Amino acid sequence: MDFPDAETVDAALSERTLPTFARVSYDPPTPELDDVRGATREAVASLPLGDVPDGGTVAVGLGSRGIDAIDRIAGTVVEALSDRGYDPVVVPAMGSHGGATPAGQRRTLASLGVTEETLGGPIDARMATDCVGTTDRGHEVHVANAALDADGILVVNRVKAHTNFTGRVESGLCKMLAVGLGKRAGAGAFHDAALADGYVETIERALDVIRANAPVLGGVAVVENFYDETAIVEGIPAGDLPAAEERLLERSKRYMPTLPFDDLDVLVVEEIGKDVSGTGMDTNVVGRYRVLNAADPETPDIDRIVVLGLTEATHGNGHGIGLADLTTTDVANELDLDQMYTNALTSGSLSKSHLPLALPSDRHAIQAAVDSIGAYDPETARIAWIRDTGHLSSFRISEALCEEAGDPLAVERRERLAFDEDGSPTFSPL
């Protein structure tokens, strides 16, 4: 695809003076777990392992999210099961992620530090599934053969607000069992049903089918704090789902990283990626779901979102770029459309893989953002500039937002924004 060159774009943009910025730190009170390994061993011990025969195989489902200490948590789960005489095998429970191939799902786990070497046990990444039953709405529920071949199944996942919907269960153990463990076939069937009947309802119906027809033990739930550090590790038996997960979801929302502003003219995001969020950037931070049959969050209200790059760990999977209004041609050329289209078509979230306006440089993208918000004044422009939606302890804000800064938001230094000859941004102290 040929994009407009710099000369063409410059001719279409107005000259805009950008505001000065301030680097701020954001430090709300938040809990942290001191002994992650110890809490993980206790979580495993709380599950009904007696349902598994001596020496039996336990499938451990792991996802594609960048969970803090997931390598230590997963390794400890495998170790704890082995110490009790069981034969653990890790099964990627990530739906169609990793391009919906065994190699891709292994690579996704490896990017999180999870390999057979670090686990001390095997990974079975087969994509084949069996339909284990049908809900009363006609939704065929799939589970990976690699999990069904085991004598017991447990999943390890973070409990947090989802990026497409709200309800008493969102992202966590229930969703991993109902969607992730079903690989591509199960994820596709789930999303078809969810678009018609609702996400929460479809998760709960699928969970009932899976518990009735597969040897599900439960899961190890992780809750993270504002800094994406481990705050809680808890074992939840299958019979206690979804109620026990609902309780943890309420706690996770109190710790969730969010911007301390409800209204922005422009949000600049340096990087998006699957390691940050399933949608590249957390929809609860940017205030956009863009999903059929689900209203966008009321806050924050952001007029323009600019994305300047992809994380290295996302391997070109820019699913979620469609939540932005503007990006650069460098980002567009880095996109792996095979992975993105697989995600979009499986989930039904087509708009998240749409391509926003791709401009020749960061300078052009940012200038276009402020040029397209209507009446503009650098003294009153409300602009936030973040690394990604998972790291909000330190970021930049325009001068107008500094007037709202206060505990736990603290201004560290004022900075001037400039662009080098390639159009890349530079900040220097005032």
SS (H, E, C) the chain: CCCCCHHHHHHHCCCCCCCCEEEEEECCCCCCCCCHHHHHHHHHHCCCHHHCCCCCEEEEEECCCCCCCHHHHHHHHHHHHHHCCCEEEEEECCCCCHHHCHHHHHHHHHHCCCCHHHHCCCECCCCCEEEEEECCCCCEEEEEHHHHCCCEEEEEEECECCCCCCCCCCECHHHHHHCHHHHHHHHHHHHHHHHHHCHHHHHHHHHHHHHHHCCEEEEEEEEECCCCCEEEEEEEEHHHCCHHHHHHHHHHHHHCCCCCCCEEEEEEECCECCCCCCCCCCHHHHCCCCECCECCCCCCEEEEEEECCECHHHCCCCCCHHHCCEEEHHHHHHCCHHHHHHHHHHHCCHHHHCCCEEECCHHHHHHHHHHCCCCCCCCCCCEEEECECCECCEEEEEHHHHCCCCCCEEEEEEEEEEECCCCCEEEEEC
Model-level pTM greater than 0.95? no
Predicted local distance difference test score (pLDDT) of residue 27: 84
Q: What is the pLDDT of residue 404?
A: 82
Per-residue pLDDT of the chain (430 residues; tens, 9 = 90+): 899 999 999 999 998 999 999 999 988 888 999 999 999 999 999 999 999 999 999 999 999 887 889 999 999 999 999 999 999 999 999 998 888 999 999 999 999 999 999 999 999 999 999 999 999 999 999 999 999 999 999 999 999 988 778 889 999 999 999 999 999 999 999 989 998 899 999 999 999 999 999 999 999 999 999 888 999 999 999 999 999 999 999 999 988 888 999 999 999 999 999 888 888 999 989 999 887 767 788 889 999 999 999 999 899 999 999 999 999 999 999 999 999 998 888 877 899 999 999 999 999 999 999 999 999 999 999 999 999 998 898 999 999 998 887 778 888 999 999 999 999 999 999 8
pLDDT of residue 256: 84
At 367 the pLDDT is: 97
